[in-house]
Structure 1
């Protein structure tokens, strides 16, 4: 898997302000200038022919030369894969063209997504409770990816895990396993469907103070310890 096991290196190239060498013909120069002006959006060949206003045979010959000289490249437009799309070699396709971080060469990178889902479940299970930032820190320190990954990307994957009922979203109450997480901070726990051996079942009570309270067995409606007088329970109700 190309995006795994290596240092982070996913960087968008900056366009070079210098023009290519003067070895271009007049027709090549016209086509190259039009393509380059579109930057990271590129251009469909039919639109290119219209803007350049050159005969088809001239366009075909000139584009072949520009590709050979590696001044332009063909890119996949996920919105219409049947169209031949061209872009100056110095640019990386915009998300509108490439599909964003989860696509490679116009196809959804399901292998990479499945790998991250599996890793995130393991991280959350190991930490018992994890925040998005905590998952990101573990992934970065592990060095298992060649590419940079953002909190936004992690949130997208975790959202899928929530929909898959592999993890559940909870809010920290600042006690027990939440003691290192600020009160009210959104975090995540594994459910009993995460597919991990020996995993404890997580119930709905885990997200409220009662779920981790060591005095829960002494708590009664009219007792000294009571929901009506519990400061932590009252704070939780405010969220």
Structure 2
């Protein structure tokens, strides 16, 4: 009987393609232990590990080829024309398992782009694959959850891809104020209102009722009339109306009086800083979106540019980090509008979008007058009259015969009529309806308009 043949023991060298290679596994373990992921090795570095038997280049070549096939190494061109091998993380290498050659090429290109993403036109150029082949590869990699499309804020029309496990960089996505490549206007408007209100409450000091009478009026604020009535001496002062039982008559429900504010003294150092504002937004949880401090800083710069906030600087405290280490200063923010001013503006914005046409027109007219400024002096004809020097009472040009005044009054009357305010108030239309029919239209500079009677009293 012929004895069976005894198979020779396997050599420690590499086995067939796709099987285990113990030398390659030992070489990869040594690289992981001594170097970080992403390091590019040269031939001499790998031979110095002492793992390749007898420094045999053929065994080294078969080992690194096995690691490249397993996506644990990645080929690189080094300076001088030599070849290098980049160390790849083992978990990331699993993404390449079971992929076709074309899919591996595209995934490698997208992976190399990192968080910046990559344009499909660049992928086509680097892979040298046909467009139809690329379309199939994109669908396959998306179905396997390896890549995903993305939008770049600077190039919204380009079709781009990024690894499925990565988030686009701030430069690509636009930061916290952008959503899917578009500026989130609602988020910016909401946070800016919260910031302005918070800064306003920290920029003004509340005046107590007992101290309010002693406070001088703010610039542009009218002084309140005296309670005692200085213009009516003695017994002619207005007395409170009482009912039969001697009690004061009710004049409707009482509302809480608005708070009065005054500015802080010069040199005030407690205006809110960037850190204070960021902590306030995080504390109130106004939005589920996480807003980092640099995003809040961007918003503050825009609000300063729009004249909604004002910058102030001071030296840092003992435990405070300066915003600018070179000049050693801390930036504070202040609002010139009081909380009452912000509340009035908010109510005006709500009236401007009211469903009632009369309320909406009145609000738009109020906004127009506020844009003109106090008194509307910028639109008064005298401010730009070409014959201002010879204008005067009894002269060839005066306020009574001035044609520029006629044009101005007609424009104001037309604006009030359109807004339904003033003498064109809907509540007073029925009373003045008969009187309006009797008024005749006069022609001013060829344009027909309502008659406007102006009573000029001598100064």
TM-score by length of 1: 0.65
Q: Is residue 2:223 matched to residue 1:148? A: no
Query: For 2:116 and 2:110, how far apart are their aligned partners in 1?
Result: 9
Equivalent residue, structure 2, for 1:187: 332
How many residue pairs match? The answer is 178
Query: For 1:108 and 1:130, how far apart are their aligned partners in 2?
Result: 27
- CA separation of 1:172/1:50 partners in 2, compared to 1, >3 Å: closer, same or farther? closer
Query: For 1:73 and 1:104, how far apart are their aligned partners in 2?
Result: 16
Q: Is residue 2:155 matched to residue 1:80? A: yes
C-alpha contact 1:170 1:188 (8 A) present in aligned 2: yes
Equivalent residue, structure 2, for 1:34: 109
Equivalent residue, structure 1, for 2:301: 159
C-alpha contact 1:74 1:84 (8 A) present in aligned 2: yes
- CA separation of 1:27/1:77 partners in 2, compared to 1, >3 Å: closer, same or farther? same
Distance apart, 1:63 and its partner CA = 0.9
Distance apart, 1:133 and its partner CA = 1.0
* More RCO (CA 8 Å, sep 6+): 1
Equivalent residue, structure 2, for 1:54: 129
Query: For 1:173 and 1:28, how far apart are their aligned partners in 2?
Result: 58
- CA separation of 1:18/1:147 partners in 2, compared to 1, >3 Å: closer, same or farther? farther
- CA separation of 1:73/1:139 partners in 2, compared to 1, >3 Å: closer, same or farther? same
User: After alignment, is 96-105 or 118-127 more displaced?
Assistant: 96-105
Distance apart, 1:170 and its partner CA = 2.4
Query: For 2:286 and 2:159, how far apart are their aligned partners in 1?
Result: 35
Q: Any idea what the Cα deviations from partners look like across 1:143-195, whole Å, max 9, x if unmatched? A: 22323323322222122222222222224599xxxxxxx9x643122113884
Equivalent residue, structure 2, for 1:119: 194
Query: For 2:313 and 2:105, how far apart are their aligned partners in 1?
Result: 59
Q: Any idea what the Cα deviations from partners look like across 1:38-91, whole Å, max 9, x if unmatched? A: 111221112111211222221111111111222101111222222211111122
Q: Is residue 2:281 matched to residue 1:135? A: no
- CA separation of 1:125/1:25 partners in 2, compared to 1, >3 Å: closer, same or farther? same
2:333 counterpart SS class: strand
- Could you tell me which runs of 5 or more consecutive residues in structure 1 were left unpaired when the two chains were aligned: 1-14, 175-181, 200-239
Q: 1:100 aligns with which of 164, 175, 180?
A: 175
- CA separation of 1:43/1:172 partners in 2, compared to 1, >3 Å: closer, same or farther? closer
C-alpha contact 2:118 2:160 (8 A) present in aligned 1: yes
User: After alignment, is 138-147 or 109-118 more displaced?
Assistant: 138-147
Equivalent residue, structure 2, for 1:196: 342
Query: For 1:186 and 1:196, how far apart are their aligned partners in 2?
Result: 23
1:38 counterpart SS class: helix
Equivalent residue, structure 1, for 2:432: none
